[in-house]
């Protein structure tokens, strides 16, 4: 991993007035500033702002109790810019050079494209034409998701970017890779021989990955209706969770070695065809229902800005197989959806029962060993084991050993964006997706999209964990979804 540690840099923040910048990026930059990262920022968006009004806008996104706000905000400058106007980039070049000199930033530049994806290509092209990417220092481009909407569009976008940046300079964000417990999967697996020695088809019965949301489509309705759960969640976040659970240990703890192992998992995932998909995948849409807190929810069809006959899925469940020696025959079940009973992201590893287990046969209260990785909102681990109940009767009962990242330490735990921007500032691209990883994930999801028109859209009531067909997907193999667990 390259670690250029704390080199000063100019950040050119495209989409500077947008939702993501205000909710996530400025607070993350503030935390990094407090940890002595050195940078200046030029905010770029279509709206008119003075430097002062831009700084006031950012100030409203920050923790008002911190005394360092003023010094931090002084490093922000604003330039109105339309990515389609080459002239605006010529102005930007001058400002960038002035700020570079003022803060002695050595020509290091990060281009953060927090823009709608259709603008990524023209922004990169105009940066190059204006000579802003020709710099004495290093340059990096951070690209927000979604990276394309299928393989063809992702390839086109990638070609546009690679005309301006080298692959090693492109940081494709999947913010899930910045989450504490997602980053912990590798440590949990590779730093603990008790897990690594049983992390395979001989000991693991199945893996269950859930990413459930209670929210509906909100103000993203028109985007979501074009996208659906498969492209919004499975192509990126869920596949990343599956990959990290399934990958082989890298030979060295090195960015390219880790990425290489991740790509191998994607290549080994069995593709679905028209003949097999009905047995492997459920797509469903929510209808009216009641959330656990009593809120009545209208059906997806009746949401604002959604076609009344929309066939977009708001839920996907699937069974994947990773066709390699380690995972031979082990199903990886995934599910994700909107308006589900609980908001949770977790991975459950279900271990195989001991054959002829005398305790298990006699004592029905015992259950399989489960390792649960809680990613959000809880952050931690639980390990479910069987022990003899204390006392005379001595039934075998399941117990749970929990490790939870408690609230006290949470406030000092960096947010995913802080962690990822920090990685980018240091030149560590391990937790960003390499092009071939993106390409293979699109190949997989494209094959699903091509095959799934033949399977009917199912429906589930809002406020549930999805349609019964999702339970049947596991029941056919003799398994069930383990109920989501809340940590103490
Ligand atoms: P947004 O619509 O809130 O903001 C878009 C920004 O782009 C605004 O600052 C706007 O002025 C600017 N812009 C629009 N047209 C422009 C043009 N022609 N030239 C220059 N600037 C222009 O969008 P957002 O929610 O902030 O999302 C930004 C990116 O981040 C998108 O790629 C989105 O998919 C991704 N993303 C957003 C979130 C989120 O929570 N908002 C989460 C993950 C990924």
pLDDT at 391: 80
Closest Cα to atom 23 of ligand 1: 18
* Active site (annotated) includes residue 149: no
Residue 260 shares a structural domain with residue 404: yes
d(CA 37, CA 45): 24
115 touches ligand 1 (CB under 6 Å): yes
For 475, residues 6+ apart whose C-beta sits below 8 A from its C-beta are none
130, 155, 173 — which closes off a domain?
173
Q: Is residue 487 part of a domain?
A: no
Residue 150 shares a structural domain with residue 191: no
Q: Is residue 424 part of a domain?
A: no
pLDDT at 407: 54
Domain count, the chain: 2
pLDDT at 356: 65
Q: Is residue 482 part of a domain?
A: no
Spacing, Cα 15 to ligand 1 middle (Å): 5
- For residues 363 and 240, the answer to whether their CB atoms sit within 8 Å is no
Domain CATH number, residue 119: 3.40.50.720
d(CA 42, CA 75): 9
Give backbone dihedrals phi and psi of 14, rounded to 5 degrees, phi first. Answer: -80, 145
Q: Is residue 80 part of a domain?
A: yes
- For residues 435 and 409, the answer to whether their CB atoms sit within 8 Å is no
Residue 155 shares a structural domain with residue 227: no
CA angle 114, 95, 6 (to 5 degrees): 65
22 touches ligand 1 (CB under 6 Å): no
d(CA 68, CA 87): 36
Q: Which of 22, 114, 420 to mutate to test the pocket of ligand 1 (most atoms within 8 A of CB)?
A: 114
Residue 188 shares a structural domain with residue 298: yes
pLDDT at 362: 53
- For residues 89 and 129, the answer to whether their CB atoms sit within 8 Å is yes
- For residues 340 and 297, the answer to whether their CB atoms sit within 8 Å is no
pLDDT at 28: 97
Spacing, Cα 46 to ligand 1 middle (Å): 11
Which atom of ligand 1 is least distant from the CA of 175?
43
Identify the active-site residue in 37, 51, 88, 237.
Answer: 237
pLDDT at 1: 45
Residue 256 shares a structural domain with residue 343: yes
| Cα dihedral across residues 428, 430, 432, 434: positive or negative | positive
Q: Is residue 344 part of a domain?
A: yes
pLDDT at 389: 82
Q: Taking Cα atoms as reference points, which of 155, 140, 114 lies closest to residue 441?
A: 155
Which atom of ligand 1 is least distant from the CA of 16?
9
15 touches ligand 1 (CB under 6 Å): yes
348 touches ligand 1 (CB under 6 Å): no
d(CA 327, CA 330): 5
84 touches ligand 1 (CB under 6 Å): yes
Spacing, Cα 204 to ligand 1 middle (Å): 42
Q: Is residue 483 part of a domain?
A: no
Judged by phi (left if over 0) then psi (alpha if -120 to 50, else beta), residue 161 lies in: alpha
Extract the residue ranges of the chain whose pLDDT is less than 50: 1-3, 409-410
Spacing, Cα 19 to ligand 1 middle (Å): 7
Residue 27 shares a structural domain with residue 97: yes
CA angle 272, 277, 280 (to 5 degrees): 95
In 216-357, where does DSSP find H-type helix? Answer: 221-229, 239-246, 255-268, 277-280
**Residue 167: other Cβ atoms inside 10 A:** 12
| Domain region containing 30 | 9-173
Structure tokens at 188: 């949990």
16 touches ligand 1 (CB under 6 Å): yes
Residue 186 shares a structural domain with residue 274: yes
Domain CATH number, residue 303: 3.30.360.10
pLDDT at 395: 78
173, 207, 224 — which closes off a domain?
173
Strands 170-172 and 139-143: parallel
Residue 294 shares a structural domain with residue 443: yes
pTM of the model: 0.94
Spacing, Cα 338 to ligand 1 middle (Å): 22
225: annotated binding-site residue? Answer: no
17 touches ligand 1 (CB under 6 Å): yes
For 453, residues 6+ apart whose C-beta sits below 8 A from its C-beta are none
Closest Cα to atom 12 of ligand 1: 15
Q: Is residue 451 part of a domain?
A: yes
pLDDT at 157: 96
Q: Is residue 233 part of a domain?
A: yes
pLDDT at 159: 96
Which atom of ligand 1 is least distant from the CA of 223?
34
Residue 410 shares a structural domain with residue 365: yes
63: annotated binding-site residue? Answer: no
Closest Cα to atom 15 of ligand 1: 46
pLDDT at 392: 73
Spacing, Cα 337 to ligand 1 middle (Å): 23
264 touches ligand 1 (CB under 6 Å): no
49 touches ligand 1 (CB under 6 Å): no
Listed as own residue / partner, the contacts of 126-130 with beta carbons closer than 8 Å and 24 or more positions apart are 126/83, 126/84, 126/85, 126/86, 126/89, 127/89, 127/164, 128/163, 128/164, 129/86, 129/89, 130/86, 130/89, 130/90, 130/92, 130/93
Residue 301 shares a structural domain with residue 335: yes
Residue 106 shares a structural domain with residue 215: no
82: annotated binding-site residue? Answer: yes
Judged on CB neighbours under 10 Å (0-12, 13-18, 19+), 450 is middle
Strand order in the sheet with 458-461: 396-404, 380-388, 370-376, 344-351, 204-212, 331-337, 315-321, 281-287, 458-461
Residue 138 shares a structural domain with residue 208: no
d(CA 265, CA 288): 38
Q: Which of 24, 45, 115, 145 to mutate to test the pocket of ligand 1 (most atoms within 8 A of CB)?
A: 115
pLDDT at 472: 98
139, 173, 207 — which closes off a domain?
173
Spacing, Cα 116 to ligand 1 middle (Å): 5
Length of the chain counted residue by residue = 488
């Amino acid at each position: 991993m390259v670690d250029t540690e704390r080199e000063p840099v100019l950040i050119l923040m495209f989409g500077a007035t947008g939702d993501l910048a205000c909710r996530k990026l400025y607070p993350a930059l503030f935390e990094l500033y407090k940890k002595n990262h050195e940078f200046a920022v030029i905010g770029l968006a279509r709206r008119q702002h003075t430097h002062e009004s831009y700084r006031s806008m950012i100030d409203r996104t920050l923790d008002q109790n911190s005394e360092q706000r003023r010094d931090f905000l002084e490093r922000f400058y604003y330039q109105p810019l339309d990515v389609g106007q080459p002239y605006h980039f010529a102005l930007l070049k001058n400002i960038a050079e002035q700020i570079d000199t003022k803060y002695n930033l050595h020509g290091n530049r990060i281009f953060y494209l927090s823009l709608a994806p259709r603008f990524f290509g023209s922004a990169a092209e105009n940066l190059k034409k204006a000579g802003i990417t020709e710099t004495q220092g290093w340059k990096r481009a951070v690209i927000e998701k979604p990276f394309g909407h299928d393989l063809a569009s992702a390839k086109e976008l990638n070609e546009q970017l690679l005309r301006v940046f080298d692959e090693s300079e492109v940081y494709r964000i999947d913010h899930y890779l910045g989450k504490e417990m997602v980053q912990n999967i590798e440590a949990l697996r590779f730093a603990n021989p008790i897990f690594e020695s049983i992390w395979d088809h001989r000991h693991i019965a199945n893996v269950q990955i859930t990413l459930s949301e209670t929210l509906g489509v909100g103000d993203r309705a028109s985007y979501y209706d074009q996208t659906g759960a498969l492209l919004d969640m499975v192509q990126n976040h869920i596949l990343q969770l599956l990959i990290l659970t399934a990958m082989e240990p890298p030979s060295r703890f090195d960015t390219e070695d880790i990425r290489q192992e991740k790509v191998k998992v994607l290549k080994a995932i069995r593709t679905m065809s028209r003949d097999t998909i009905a047995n492997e995948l459920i797509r469903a849409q929510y209808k009216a229902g009641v959330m656990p807190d009593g809120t009545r929810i209208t059906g997806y069809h009746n949401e604002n800005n959604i076609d009344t006959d929309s066939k977009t899925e708001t839920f996907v469940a699937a069974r994947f197989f990773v066709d390699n020696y380690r995972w031979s025959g082990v199903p990886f079940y995934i599910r994700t959806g909107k308006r589900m009973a609980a908001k949770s992201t977790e991975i459950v590893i279900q271990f195989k029962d001991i054959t002829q287990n005398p305790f298990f046969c006699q004592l029905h209260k015992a259950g399989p060993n489960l390792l649960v990785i809680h990613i959000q909102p809880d952050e931690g681990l639980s390990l479910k084991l069987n022990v003899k109940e204390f006392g005379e009767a001595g039934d075998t009962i399941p117990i749970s050993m929990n490790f939870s990242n408690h609230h006290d330490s949470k406030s000092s735990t960096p947010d995913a964006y802080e962690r990822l921007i920090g990685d980018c500032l240091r030149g560590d691209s391990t937790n960003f997706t390499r092009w071939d990883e993106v390409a293979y994930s699109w190949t997989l999801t494209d094959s699903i999209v091509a095959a799934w028109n033949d399977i009917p859209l199912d429906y589930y009531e809002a406020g549930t964990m999805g349609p019964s067909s999702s339970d049947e997907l596991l029941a056919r193999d003799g398994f069930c979804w383990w109920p989501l667990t809340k940590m103490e």
